[in-house]
Amino acid sequence: MAEGQPARRPLEELTSVPAAEPAPPVFQERLTGPLAPDAYAFAVPLALLGVAGLVAGWSVVGLLSLGLGLFVA
């Protein structure tokens, strides 16, 4: 701040009307697929682990893995 200058902005600067209305923002919606590509890399092994767990007789591990795999998908 310069010496001898007021610390505030002048009233004219604060109350002036802009010369033109600002343009609205440009928004373009992009639709995505049902799954993100990286979700397959995580969901498929979990689902396969769940099925393998159910086949092997580990029902708790199988159901948890299968449920988590389906939830991720």
pLDDT in tens, the chain (73 residues): 567 776 677 777 777 666 677 788 888 776 666 666 777 888 888 888 888 888 988 888 888 888 888 887 7
Q: What pLDDT score was predicted for residue 37?
A: 72
Q: How many domains does the chain have?
A: 1
Q: What pLDDT score was predicted for residue 35?
A: 65
Residue 60 lies in a domain: yes
- Inter-residue contact 47 to 66 (CB < 8 Å): yes
Residue 11 lies in a domain: no
- Inter-residue contact 20 to 36 (CB < 8 Å): no
Cα angle 45-51-54, degrees, rounded to a multiple of 5:
140
| Domain region containing 58 | 34-73
Residue 9 lies in a domain: no
Residue 69 lies in a domain: yes
Q: What pLDDT score was predicted for residue 18?
A: 66
